[in-house]
Structure 1
Amino acid sequence: MLQSLIFDMDGTLFQTDKILELSLDDTFNHLRTLNHLRTLNQWDASTPIDKYREIMGVPLPKVWEALLPTHSYEIRKYTDDYFLKSLVENIRKGKGALYPNVKEVFSYLKENNCSIYIASNGLKEYLQAIVDHYDLNNWVTETFSIQQIQTLDKGELVKTIIKKYDIKYAAVVGDRLSDINAAKDNGLMAVGCNFDFAQADELAQADVVIDDLMELKRIVSNINNSLSV
């Protein structure tokens, strides 16, 4: 029996796209107002939203290394803090959204004794804002942030969940290669989500690919029925 499902958050459960560009624009507009600071290289280009889309799914420290390659660690940290505040504010204002059928699928999983976890490269405060705003704790056993481990490796984060809850049979559900690799690194089934940020070459490495979260009901049912025969 499939004991647990471990979900990614961004691009899998939460439609990050709805607040990403808004928050990123806000952050880089703010950087443009800080050009008087000697420690800050002038930012006068457009907001690098396309570059962010390419690397979506990696931990935020690596995001700022890519988007602000010539800036100091201090400026990247400052930018990270500002971006986080903007994201959380937009979540609390209701400008984001879950993907269709999240709560229906969660209810189905709980009714069928399948525990639910979230493993995300997002920061704790950001994840908590989403969980709180959409009352996900009604279904989710625990939400894990990449901040909880030193390596910033999602496979290690998933391993933390497995050990804590003594999980034997599970699947990782996510839209990016880091999710697929996290499943494979731990001997779990990898379910790729063909959603906004997904890339075909990455999804090709998943065990199964879905276009809608509702497909998880069939997948879980088929696995459990085959194991019970």
Structure 2
Amino acid sequence: MAVLIFDLDGTLIDTGQLAISAYRRVLINYGYTPDELPTDEQILKTFGLPDTEIWSTLMAKHSDPALHRLAFRESGDLIYADMEQNAVLLPHARDVLVALKRQGHTLTTASNCGQQYLDAVLDTQGIREFFDSPLCLETVKGTKKSDILREHLTRYDREDCVMIGDRSTDRDAAVEVDMAFIGCNFGFGDRTELAGAECIIQSLPELVQYMSNR
């Protein structure tokens, strides 16, 4: 059986509108005018990046990393509160997780988010039970997604592991540690970001079928 390592945003969940709202509220608190706020597209393009990189990109008027970290924490609080009131799982996500566990696979995570965000997703969406040792960038004190995968490789055999995600950051991390990669062509990236994947799925249920035949 495989160890399936999931990205979160664009792979299992969609917090796009929650993040857009939270990011803009934080930026306004830091003095950004409506004309200076990023567009929806500009915000969504940052998804999949490490949080520090997201905020250095969005806070063009501020170069202080301490302010970026503070904005990251403040936006996390807002998103957590919103997630408690909103379902953000992608269609069929829970059913797919149930089916994969029944097939005997080990499920875990590798997300370029903070621990607060990871916990919010797992707990507010009621999916923590499906994952073994879920990790994020802050958990491993890393700087890029390959650091998370290397931590997983201290627990699991490389040949059993598969990274599953929707962005080039997921693919590149898997390539860097010589791990298999399955691309999700329904998230925030586009198909060109998934080049080199052993399989590209168009919806989550396809993953169940693919893993049953892999």
- TM-score w.r.t. structure 1 length? 0.85
Partner of 1:90: 82
Conserved? CA contact 2:50–2:137, under 8 Å = yes
1:89 partner letter: A
Deviation at 1:153, TM superposition (A): 1.6
| 2:184 paired with 1:193 | yes
Moved more, 48-57 or 210-219: 48-57
Deviation at 1:148, TM superposition (A): 2.6
Paired-residue identity, %: 24
Q: What amino acid is the match of 1:25? A: R
The corresponding residue for 1:215 is: 206
1:107 to partner: Cα distance: 1.1
**Which of 90, 94, 100 lines up with 1:99 in the alignment?**
90
Distance 2:191 2:207 in 1: 20
Task: Give the Cα separation in 2 of the matches to 1:105 and 1:167.
Answer: 23
Q: Is residue 18–residue 97 contact of structure 1 (8 Å, CA) maintained in 2?
A: no
Distance 2:206 2:167 in 1: 18
**1:169 equivalent among 160, 182, 185:** 160
One-letter code aligned to 1:3: A
Q: 1:203 aligns with which of 170, 188, 194?
A: 194
Match of 2:42 in 1: 51
Aligned 8 A contact 1:3 1:167 in 2: no
How much has 1:44 moved relative to structure 2? 4.9
Match of 1:145 in 2: 136
Q: Label 1:163 to 1:59 Cα distance change in 2 as closer, same or farther (>3 A).
A: same
Of residues 122, 127, 138, the one that matches 1:131 is 122
Runs of 4+ in structure 1 displaced over 3 angstroms?
Answer: 165-168
Name the CA distance, whole Å, in 1 between partners of 2:157 and 2:123.
Answer: 26
Q: Which amino acid aligns with 2:91?
A: P
Number of matched residues? 212
The answer to whether structure 1 residue 81 and structure 2 residue 80 are counterparts is no
Deviation string 1:66-101 (CA, Å, 9 cap, x unpaired) is 11233123332322221111111111122x410111
- Residue in 2 aligned with 1:36? none
1:196 and 1:18 map into 2 onto residues whose CA distance is 14
What is the CA deviation profile of residues 129-154 of structure 1, one whole-angstrom value per residue up to 9, with x for unaligned ones?
11011221221112101013344121
Contact map agreement 2:110 2:149 (CA 8 A) in 1: yes
Superposition CA RMSD, Å = 1.8
SS in 1 for 2:132: strand
| Structure 2 segments unaligned to the other structure (5+ residues) | none
Q: Quick one: which of 51, 60, 72 aligns to 1:69?
A: 60
Structure 1 portions without partners, runs of 5+: 33-41, 224-229
